[in-house]
Structure 1
Amino acid sequence: MTRPRGKRSKAPTLRFEKTFLDLGHRFVAGCDEVGRGALAGPVSVGIVVVDLASAAGLRGVRDSKLLTPAERVALVPRIRRWSVASAVGHASAAEIDALGLMAALRTAGGRAWDSVLEDLTPDVVVLDGNHDWLSAPSQDVLFPTGGDALPDRTRGCAAPVHTKIKADLTCLSVAAASVLAKVERDALMVALAAEHPAFGWEVNKGYATGMHRGAIDAVGPSDHHRKTWRLGSAERPGTPRLESTG
């Protein structure tokens, strides 16, 4: 879903990314996630790697939430050509339930990272937000949250990760990553909507609209719902309140 369109925001640049040139870093990966606050579907993590020795700006790129669906889709092939490597990774609703949200984000990010490593190894990562959920854990763990926990089998990001609040608004590589992740996740939700038409995922993309909660009340959750979260309209103790867009 998309924020109301108002005055056009200032375009993100590579200014922050290029500060890493002075530290000897050439390949910088921007990273962002989508789907964190949804009731259904995966969390998805995009990574876009730029070569600071040659990269220029890319017109039209903004944080994905500031663009229309058509604008985002049109940007995807341009971002793929502009970057030296890019990927999107996903962690399913079942993995979110079994691992917890932060470990599921790391799993999705690790899958994107492993895909990027097939092309090159980034020197450093710029991650949107103030918490590093991307870095590989210090030792091999299964993120146990219960007897049926699923293992994280990705290698995980081993490069230095620099968090930056609102990086999706100011850093071009991160904004580009948000676009790739949003387009790919939205397409997954539209495909799932054809199999589960009651929930309106082709419109709400799995987020917590009134219509979505009402459908869960009426027909119950699907296999793609995050069953450890508050899903229907009835309040359940200990479950988070969630955003309705993203």
Structure 2
Amino acid sequence: MTTGSGSRPHLRLEKELLRGGLQRLAAMDEVGRGALAGPVSVGVVVVTARIGRVPLGLKDSKLMTPAARQTLLPVVRRWAGEFAVGHAGPAEIDAVGIIGALRLAGRRALAQLPAPVDAVLLDGNHDYLSEPEPVLFSDTPPVFTRIKADLTCAGVAGASVLAKTERDGMLRRLALEYPDYLFEVNKGYGTAEHVAALRRHGPSEVHRRSWRLPTGEVDLADEG
């Protein structure tokens, strides 16, 4: 099946998992993993057998313009019914690493839902939600992973739109506190202008200070 930018996400995988005995499936996606500043954020959309037709125009948030994401946001919220976004801040990323921070953000998103889910569908091939070692009586539901799920699975694409728009709003607000770094434009990612600002001013309190930030002649940060 085609997974390029011209394809539309669908609910085939989500419904296949539901037919396997699940009642409530959490489709999740993360944004901000490779940024130099700001939080990492994880969105979740609950998929049940009652979910409606996939909204027209829904796709991976990275393939949408900011205006298109903002226009589609209320549509995705109505379609999903149950949704949430969890965050882990730069100090937490520094303390526990990017994978640990993704776990925190994902569990915070799940904790906001009105009821538990039976399983989780994650974009990618790595389960960052579960503990690194098996834990007796873990409260983490079973996790399924799918590479390019943000391109092919509508629930994951919806979660990416929710996470991206909420995190972008947070970075626009941070730009008011830290105007030197142009967060309203770069959203914390390592653009040329952001790198130049880091070399000129050094890192702020909302930068990921444990990363190899591009200050002075140091190379770009490792995106984890």
CA distance in 2, matches of 1:158, 1:215: 40
Task: Determine whether 1:52 maps to 2:49.
Answer: yes
CA distance in 1, matches of 2:72, 2:146: 23
Do the aligned partners of 2:41 and 2:88 also contact (CA within 8 Å) in 1? yes
Q: 1:102 to 1:174 in 2, by over 3 A?
A: same
What residue in structure 1 maps to residue 222 of structure 2?
A: 241
Q: How many residue pairs are counted as aligned between the two chains? A: 218
Amino acid aligned to 2:80: S
Amino acid aligned to 1:182: K
Cα distance, 1:139 vs structure 2: 3.9
Amino acid aligned to 1:55: G
CA distance in 2, matches of 1:54, 1:36: 29
Task: Determine whether 1:74 maps to 2:71.
Answer: yes
Amino acid aligned to 1:229: W
Task: Determine whether 1:201 maps to 2:183.
Answer: yes
CA distance in 2, matches of 1:157, 1:129: 22
CA distance in 2, matches of 1:115, 1:105: 16
CA distance in 2, matches of 1:176, 1:112: 14
CA distance in 1, matches of 2:100, 2:5: 35
Do the aligned partners of 1:31 and 1:46 also contact (CA within 8 Å) in 2? yes
CA distance in 1, matches of 2:73, 2:51: 20
Over residues 118-139 of structure 1, what are the superposed CA-to-partner deviations in whole Å (9 max), with x where a residue is unaligned?
A: x122222110000000125644
What residue in structure 2 maps to residue 221 of structure 1?
A: 203
Amino acid aligned to 1:93: P
TM-score, normalised with respect to structure 1: 0.83
Of 140, 156, 166, 1:158 maps to 140
* RMSD of equivalent CA atoms: 2.0
After TM superposition, the structure 1 stretch with the greater mean CA deviation from structure 2, 188-197 or 16-25, is 16-25
TM-score, normalised with respect to structure 2: 0.91
Amino acid aligned to 1:167: A
Q: Percent identity?
A: 51
Cα distance, 1:77 vs structure 2: 1.2
After TM superposition, the structure 1 stretch with the greater mean CA deviation from structure 2, 160-169 or 8-17, is 8-17
Cα distance, 1:157 vs structure 2: 5.9
Over residues 49-79 of structure 1, what are the superposed CA-to-partner deviations in whole Å (9 max), with x where a residue is unaligned?
A: 1222443222111000010101111111111
SS state of the match for residue 45, structure 1?
Answer: strand
In structure 1, runs of 5+ residues without a counterpart are 1-6, 141-155
SS state of the match for residue 112, structure 2?
Answer: helix
In structure 2, runs of 5+ residues without a counterpart are none
Superposition misfits of 4+ residues, deviation over 3 angstroms: 136-140, 239-243
SS state of the match for residue 89, structure 1?
Answer: strand
What residue in structure 2 maps to residue 103 of structure 1?
A: 100
Cα distance, 1:23 vs structure 2: 1.1
Cα distance, 1:35 vs structure 2: 0.3
CA distance in 2, matches of 1:40, 1:48: 25
SS state of the match for residue 100, structure 1?
Answer: helix
Cα distance, 1:240 vs structure 2: 4.7
SS state of the match for residue 32, structure 1?
Answer: strand
Do the aligned partners of 1:27 and 1:50 also contact (CA within 8 Å) in 2? yes
SS state of the match for residue 12, structure 2?
Answer: coil
Amino acid aligned to 2:218: E
Of 167, 187, 193, 1:211 maps to 193
CA distance in 2, matches of 1:38, 1:19: 34
